[in-house]
Amino acid sequence: MRSNSETPVSSGAYKAASLPGEAVINPTREAWDAPVTDRVILTFTLPDYKSLCRLAQPASPPRYIYNCALREGAWEDKPLTLTAPALGAPYAVMLLEKLIALGARMVLALGWCGSLQPGLAIGDLVLPQAAVSTEGTSRHYPLEDGAPMAPDQDLYRLLRQEISAADTAWQEGTVWSTDGFYRETVELVTRYQAQGILGVDMEMSALFTVGRFRQVPVAGLLVVSDELATLSWQPGYRSERFRRARGQAARLVLAAAAAWGGGHA
């Protein structure tokens, strides 16, 4: 879903932090941890998680990692793991790291975003092809200078293929990820709007960065939940169009996960 750092990354390129050395704490599979499937769908809200569970029909009760529920289901006979709610970049990255340690080989993120552009309405879908960051988590994962904050391209293309075949309004482009939901200021919204950035969320830049750092494919899909383009907040969380779009986005993410060819089955 959806900071105001002193040095925002406005080009979509990753500017590596000076953080040499090995981590003291590393993500591992503990003796009590059950593995996850190769395919994982990570969500940030319980409503999306519940929608995915209704569709994928998990047979077992949920288990929990960092208070996030995990359940195994299937789509088109492909096993997958569903998890939520990991709201915000730090939480989402903690969960992503653990999921990778437990066997995730592909992660698709499903979330919401605020629209920054007049032509992007509540209930439209946004396919992020890059992200800019004012969240504070990405800088702890140094990549090569100039490396873009972007999804895995093969996974991105799978999602794009599914969305292109659907009867839905959608756009692809760059999103802005922030830690400060209540600090999406007029100055920042105006700046990123002028750069053509489509929307604002809270996780995508960090998830893309960690996916690259750990060399695990990560991509995402967002549903427009509110509008900021007029510099007056227009929430649409309770609208019927948003509700329908969330259901459609869940199906699209499931279809892309099933179509992914890197799994074992």
Domain membership of residue 195 (yes or no) is yes
Cβ pair 88, 207 in contact under 8 A: no
Tell me if 7 is assigned to some domain.
no
Greatest Cα pair distance, the chain, in angstroms, is 52
Tally Cβ neighbours within 10 Å of residue 138. Answer: 27
Domain annotation covers residue 11:
no
Residue 19 has pLDDT above 80, yes or no: no
> Is pLDDT of 136 > 80?
yes
Give the residue numbers spanning the domain of 50. 39-259
pLDDT band at 142, cuts 50/70/90?
Answer: confident
Q: Would you say 84 and 42 are in contact if contact means Cβ atoms under 8 Å apart?
A: yes
Q: What is the pLDDT of residues 177-221, one digit of tens each?
A: 999 999 999 999 999 999 999 999 999 999 999 999 999 999 999
Please give the pLDDT value at position 1. Answer: 55
For residue 242, being part of any structural domain is answered with yes
From the number of C-beta atoms within 10 Å of its C-beta (0-12, 13-18, 19+), residue 228 rates as buried
* Domain assignment present for 265: no
Q: Could you tell me if residue 216 is inside a domain?
A: yes
| Number of domains within the chain | 1
Block residue for tokens 């839905």: 168
* 3-to-173, 185, 194, 204, 240 alpha-carbon distances in Å: 20, 9, 18, 14, 30
Q: Which amino acid, one-letter code, is at 238?
A: R
Position 4 in a domain: no
> 179: closest CA among 89, 91, 92?
89
Say if CB 250 and CB 48 are below 8 A apart: yes
Per-residue confidence at 78, pLDDT binned at 50, 70, 90? very high
Whichever domain contains 82, its CATH number is 3.40.50.1580
Number of C-alpha atoms within 13 angstroms, CB side, residue 174?
18
pLDDT band at 20 (very low <50, low <70, confident <90, very high): low
Question: What one-letter code names the amino acid at 71?
Answer: R
Residue 132 three-state SS: strand
> Per the domain annotation, does 232 fall within a domain?
yes
The pLDDT of 110-116, averaged and rounded, is: 98
Report the candidate in 155, 176, 173, 177 with the shortest Cα–Cα distance to residue 252. Answer: 155
Q: For residue 12, what pLDDT is reported?
A: 45
pLDDT score for 231? 97
